[in-house]
Amino acid sequence: MSTVESRRRPLVGAGVNRVDGPRKVTGTAPYPMDFSVPGQAYGALVQSTIAAGRIVRMHTEAAEGAPGVIGVLTHENAPRVGTGPVTVLGASPPAPLRSDRILHHGQHIAFVVAETPEQAGAAARLVRADYEATEPLLDLQDPRAEHLVDPWGMDTSRGDTAAAMASAEVTLRATYTTADNTNNPLGLFATLAAWEGDTLTVHDTSQWPSMVRTSLAMAFGVPESSVRVLVPYVGGGFGAGLRAWPHVILTAMAARVLRRPVKLVLTRPQMFTSVGHRPSGVQWLRVGATRDGELLALNHRSLISLSMEDNDFEPFASATAFAYRCPNVITQDRQARINIAVPTSMRAPAEAQGNFALESALDELACTLGIDPVELRLRNHTDVDPRNGLPWSGKALLECYEVGARRFGWSRRNPRPRSMRDGNWLVGYGMASALFPYFAQPCAAQATVRGDGSALVRSAATDIGTGTYTVMAQLAAEELGLPLDMVRFDLGDSDMPNSMMAGGSGLTGALGNAVHDACRRLVRSFTELAWADPESPLRGVPPGGVECTDGTIHPVGRPDLGESYVEILARHELSERTANGTSSPPVAEELGMSPAGAYGAKFVEVRVDADLGLLRVARVVSVIDGGRILNEKTARSQIIGGTVGGIGMTLFEDTVTDPRTGRIANATFGDYLVAVNADVPDLDVVFVGEPDRGTATGTKGVGEVGLVGIAPAIANAVYHATGKRIRRLPITLDALL
């Protein structure tokens, strides 16, 4: 069954409705906070009211005597637990209740368990702590902060950047600042933990059940086989669910100590300090170029906020090393430890911030040189990976520029700032390139065809709203030659074959390749059964010479000579047949190509009130090279969602920390602003390009690239409209007055 033949089938690529859609719209999809078990108690967190220092004494007597209270855990009586694993995203968060040290405002200092959630919450408010406070470090650029230099070993240097910069005909130097954002998925994070002896079952809000299982096993010193993590549905994540957070460990700890199942649902303010946030940062960028716009040198440095005891992975500057053709490049990232809650990945991690600086700087360069911003990028486009000279496995960025400019009407742009008006509104056009680097981890899947001809495919992945349930069912149906309604894809259970996280735009590719492998192996096993069977019309037909149509295996191009799965199973007296599949990330040297992530071009029109400085996004055109699109409907939804997140990042989102106390001042939806319907215009999304050559399924992830590029495109459009260059996010009203 050739890849070309399989791609002609209509199941994959079509805008199929989500298979989990009916459960979601009818309210029957079970989210983590919806689960209950007999005899469960309820937990509530107590959090610190200082940002740095130590606890002198805990006062828990009033809480322990409150109605319904079963127990109160503090650092004074909590059992010690182990530290979780170091993953590709860095070290696990610090274990909870391990000492009297306070590292940030809102740190968990006690856990109250009661018969009802109301009793637990009321008792938690009775817990008091005496502190010995110290002055917190809260300013990212405080010279007293400890710096981690090149924390991930990803700094790059090629050529002689200093000499190239010195000899460049045109140079540019600028500083860009991005704010702390909070992920804020709609669904509050929840954990339900139940022990039976040394066996632990946990319902958790997670984007990575396999990692949570490993973390819990390490924390409590039990085999991974004794831990089961269930996550059938997630009410949003955006990266917040990529770690086993301290509250998850606390819930399981309380359940073990009290010998009762315990359930915890975070409050909205607790979400701001308990499940990560996009780190703030400052970036310094220098550009050297010829008067014709050829890039000669790029020097991109960043300083990124980090908590006191954590190792978040967020290399802002790294993608500058391969975004454009440039012979002399330096990228340097460092982190500063300050008294803040642990940062984590937030949609388009690192690229959201790094791309804002790079693409804003290129727009400044284009304006300085009098070159059209699109033309400047065309002149510096590269078809090879500048780091190793290998061609990309798939890159249709030139087509993104062409299609985007045409659909947007870029040719109507008068390049002079403040030259385009609509009444009292200043009109601005801006654009930016977008990329999100290739990312994947090993993945496994299992495929089964049963006696009735239906198929069950499984993997311990999660669907955070991206459409994993649907696209994996589509892919399996295509490979097995079954109607979509005869295929079920199950996920969200750590007892299933191991899966990578739903993050980094990597799951669809890695899991899709594992599903592809499992289904191919399953078809082969059926063919091998029939190959030696004198009663089968497939006798003697080699496994590589078949294809599957409507539940029937037949020689390529000969559906009349086929035999169904049902017939093969029945004749061999089998109730079902199963095969396992795996995938591993491609290696550039083995491929002879560099694995390419997703690319895009973003075109934005803004309107700015000439008197009041009011800023409105009027239009956004996103043209995306996402490789082979498995489901255009869900993929378009991902780009739309990313665009909305990009608008929020650019215009509204800023997690404000009190500079004296370290308290987050806007930890509610009433105070933390996000983009709403009134802020979002009609969004035009177009997919271009071909299947990626680097993987079996030809896919790239599109979850992150929808957000990348929106911030600089808006900022560049604001400059075109007003003549004011904004280098700090979010863009607030005062910056435009």
Q: How far apart are CA 399 and CA 526, in angstroms?
A: 43
Dig out the tokens for 65 from the structure.
């005597």
Please state, as a whole number, how many other Cβ atoms lie within 10 Å of the Cβ of residue 86.
10
Residue among 533, 456, 459, 443 at smallest CA distance from 487: 456
CA angle centred on 121, ends 119 and 122, rounded to 5°: 65
Number of H helices, E strands in the chain: 19, 28
Q: How far is Cα 195 from Cα 190, in angstroms, rounded to an integer?
A: 17
All residues at 6 or more sequence positions from 10 whose CB lies less than 8 Å from its CB, including other chains: none
DSSP one-letter code for 678:
G
3 state SS of 468: helix
Amino acid at 536: S
Q: Taking a C-beta distance cutoff of 8 angstroms, is the pair 257, 276 a contact? A: no
584 closest CA partner among 702, 498, 523 = 498
Q: Among candidates 294, 299, 296, 270, which has minimal Cα distance to 283?
A: 299
Query: Distances from the Cα of 105 to the Cαs of 48, 143, 656, 715, 716, in angstroms?
Result: 6, 21, 13, 33, 36
Query: Under DSSP, is residue 545 helix (H, G, I), strand (E, B) or coil?
Result: helix
Alpha carbon dihedral 357, 146, 132, 663, in 10-degree steps, equals 0
Q: How far is CA 369 from the centre of its chain?
A: 36
Phi-psi region of 465 (alpha: psi -120 to 50; beta: other; left: phi over 0): left
Residues near 252 by Cβ (< 8 Å), separated by ≥ 6? 191, 193, 195, 200, 202, 216, 219, 220, 262
Q: 546 and 540 in contact (C-beta within 8 Å)? A: no
Asked if residue 255 lies in contact with residue 81, where contact means CB atoms within 8 angstroms, the answer is: no
Neighbours of 177 (CB within 10 A): 15
Give DSSP secondary structure letters for 134-177.
-PPP--TT-TTS-EEESTTS--EEES-HHHHHHH-SEEEEEEEE
For residue 82, give the nearest of 72, 93, 71 by alpha carbon. Answer: 93
Indicate which residues carry an active-site annotation.
Answer: 704
CB 106 within 8 A of CB 96: no
C-beta separation of 460 from 454 below 8 A: no
Distance of CA 424 to the CA centre of its chain: 40
Nearest to 117 by CA among 216, 184, 33: 33
